[in-house]
Amino acid sequence: MKERIVILSDTHMGRPDAMVRSPGMLQPLWQGASGLVINGDVAEVHDPRYRVKAAKQVLELHDLCEQDGVELTLLSGNHDPYISDTRHLWLADGSVFVTHGDSLHPAIAPWCPSAARVRQSYDRAMASLNPEDRGTLASRLSVSQHSAHEHWAEFEKALQHSTFRQLARRPWMVFEILWYWHTIPGLAMQFAKEHAPDTRFFIFGHTHRQGIWQRGQTTLINTGSFGFPGSPRAVVIEDGRLRVYRVCRDGDAFGFGKAPIAEYALQTTVLSADGEAA
């Protein structure tokens, strides 16, 4: 089978209001692919209210991919910080860098009520490292992973109600979210300069705001979310090309839009998470 890699993010399976009610709804997206990457927040395994259902759906996802001969790679996000030890990937000879995006800001989700506590946890964990290690990609990813896990109790308190009810209780949260969306291209570009300066494409999720931004020679791609506000994108790497598609729902299944909304030339040699040729 020729190489075809599909990259999604933020499927948030397990929640009762999830767009992805079962992994089978995603199956059309990986048909004909050799690999599927879900770039963080695959399922709500962090939340005791949803953990059992979420875990079952992750196992079902593994089974379906195995049946279809598709290699599944899960990157951990802030909603599933220890679902995988993999926090980032290099693809296409290092020209594509993939990570969830929760490490772009020390507070992880700066619009949440728990943001200040998460930032404190992040700062403490970073201060505990040797000074020479604090600026590395591995440290930044692991510290944000630790902070998301340690302070899930605070996240849980903040997320006891739906997003709409949170907005009703904290109307200024709308402005916090909009401001973060406004700043995210700059934060992503700064992250790329520090930790992936030679990459041409930086693919992330986390913010739930899909988008493509060009900054010099670097293309920033956010794949959106299968949760609120719900406008997911898929990145497909195949035949020396990187294509970005809208993901559309048709009944009980998701599929690609009719044509890519963006397309770029690149090489497609896959690298492992440490940047070595796989």
Q: What is the largest CA-CA distance in the chain?
A: 53
Indicate the residue type of 18: A
pTM: 0.89
Domains and CATH numbers, the chain: 4-265 (3.60.21.10)
Instruction: Give the model confidence (pLDDT) of 24-56 as tens digits.
Output: 999 999 999 999 999 999 999 888 889 999 999
Instruction: Give the model confidence (pLDDT) of 179-238 as tens digits.
Output: 788 899 999 999 999 999 999 999 999 999 999 999 999 999 999 999 877 799 999 999
- Taking the C-alpha atoms of residue 136 and residue 29, their distance in angstroms, rounded to an integer, is 34
Ramachandran assignment for 101, one of left (phi > 0), alpha (psi -120 to 50 degrees), beta (any other): left
What is the per-residue burial (b if ≥16 Cβ within 10 Å, else e) of 216-231? eebbbbbbbbbbeeee
